[in-house]
Amino acid sequence: MDFIASALSHLTCSRCDTRHEPDEIHRFCACGGPLYPRYDLDSVSWTPESLANRPGGLWRYADLLPVRAPEHRICLGEGGTPLLRLARIGNHIGLNELLAKDEGLNPTGSFKARGLCLAASRARELGITTLSIPTAGNAGSAMAAYCARGGMRAVIYVPRETPPEFLTEYRDLGAQVTIVDGTISDAGARMASEARDDWFPVSTLQEPYRLEGKKTMGLELAEQLAWQLPDVILYPTGGGTGLLGMWKAFDELEAIGMLDSRRPRMIAVQAEGCAPIVKAFEAGDSSAAPWENATTVANGLRVPKAFADREILSVIRASKGTAITIDDDAMLAMLRLLAGVEGIYTAPEAAATIVAAQRLVADGTIHADERVVTFLTGNAYKYLSSL
């Protein structure tokens, strides 16, 4: 098929709307807001038939992604994950149509492959040679893999409690690894204090392009559902990039005529031991205070302070959604139930979305006849030492 050109136009700040040139190196806006890539949407012409003729995977949406030159589009087979009907679990929790997007089938076993694929690809296109990241798990795996694939250097800072499976993977993928006492926030602070001039940090939403990789979950979901969005999306929310990316995807799809204005209720799922977004949502606050003494078996949810907390809270409220906490014991019980009755071995943070659906059905927030999609953001295999 013909080369698909990116329609990238510029970057804008999500908070002050300042415009930034796209082919200069940026992290975030001077006001502190995340930068969102914007596209010449008038030049993008999709139909279900035209998309059907494109190759599978993430890069099938290249015109709505920010990498211009095809030689910089790093690929490990990311995207194209299945949308599975969970009939037995749905019946167990009282839902007639419960669907799960199984992101654990991505390279390195999680949805992080999408975001780090785009971050690494765009960084390489802009001439960056070293990426750095604080991580508690799968983001480091994905960054290291895409750096290796793209001939770049990976520098990773991790909390000491990170499962050893991840540490082995980082090192085998060629990354430089530093272990730090504390949480991912402590790892980020240490990384910042030791940063070198040639390191480019790709922390969640502190650069513009991981968002665009996560956005493809929304593009893909809409296509898999024949351009009819579900009533509810439940998403495990640490840094929140996926939730924001999907919301951005839906807006772009509406602008190019693929969707109407109807949106799912977006539900943020957090761990009981680290729930800054839930606390802020319930208090009616527009931003979230850092969570003290964060603890949870779900590494992806142990994020005491999300960089884009304001944007996450705004999307939850705009969608008429909600935010809910789940305790570790319930996550692990659902992890095992899902494995035993559906054959899906998912990570604790992903299992938390199923527990959340169960509780929200029980209290009437979600109705039995609604179409509900949960995102299973990673598999359980790298958690075996801590389960």
Residue 13 β-bridge partners: 35
Q: Considering the domain boundaries, does residue 256 fall inside one?
A: yes
Specify whether 240 is located in the same domain as 307: yes
Specify whether 331 is located in the same domain as 263: yes
CA 383 vs CA 138, 161, 164, 167: distances in Å? 10, 12, 9, 12
Specify whether 155 is located in the same domain as 248: no
Compute the average pLDDT of residues 314-338: 98
* 1: pLDDT strictly greater than 60: no
57-67 per-position pLDDT tens digit: 999 999 999 99
Q: What is the pLDDT of residue 387?
A: 84
130-149 per-position pLDDT tens digit: 999 999 899 999 999 999 99
Q: Considering the domain boundaries, does residue 321 fall inside one?
A: yes
Compute the average pLDDT of residues 151-178: 96
Question: How many contiguous H segments (helices) and E segments (strands) does the chain have?
Answer: 12, 13
Q: Which of 201, 228, 259 is the last residue of a domain?
A: 201
CATH (domain of 130): 3.40.50.1100
Specify whether 143 is located in the same domain as 259: no
Q: Considering the domain boundaries, does residue 2 fall inside one?
A: no
Lowest-confidence segment of 40-44, 234-238, 298-302, 316-320 by average pLDDT: 298-302
Q: Considering the domain boundaries, does residue 40 fall inside one?
A: yes
* Residue 165, φ and ψ in degrees, nearest 5: -60, -40
Q: What is the pLDDT of residue 204?
A: 87
205-250 per-position pLDDT tens digit: 899 999 999 999 999 999 999 999 999 999 999 999 999 999 999 9
46-88 per-position pLDDT tens digit: 999 999 999 999 999 999 999 999 999 999 999 999 999 999 9
Specify whether 337 is located in the same domain as 268: yes
Average confidence score pLDDT of the chain? 96
Domain holding 348, by residue range, is: 83-108+208-386
C-alpha span between 130 and 122 (Å, rounded): 12
The pLDDT > 90 percentage for the chain reads: 95
* 25: pLDDT strictly greater than 90: yes
Into how many domains does the chain fold?
3
Please report, to the nearest 10 degrees, the dihedral formed by the alpha carbons of residues 139, 143, 145, 151 taken in order: 180
Specify whether 183 is located in the same domain as 228: no
Nearest to 80 by CA among 100, 60, 65: 60
Q: What is the pLDDT of residue 2?
A: 66
Lowest-confidence segment of 36-45, 159-168, 357-366 by average pLDDT: 159-168
215 contacts 245 by C-beta, under 8 angstroms = yes
Compute the average pLDDT of residues 322-347: 98
Nearest to 347 by CA among 373, 384, 372: 384
C-alpha span between 240 and 87 (Å, rounded): 28
Specify whether 238 is located in the same domain as 328: yes
171-190 per-position pLDDT tens digit: 999 999 999 999 888 999 99
Specify whether 191 is located in the same domain as 218: no
Specify whether 350 is located in the same domain as 218: yes
Specify whether 303 is located in the same domain as 190: no
Q: Considering the domain boundaries, does residue 140 fall inside one?
A: yes
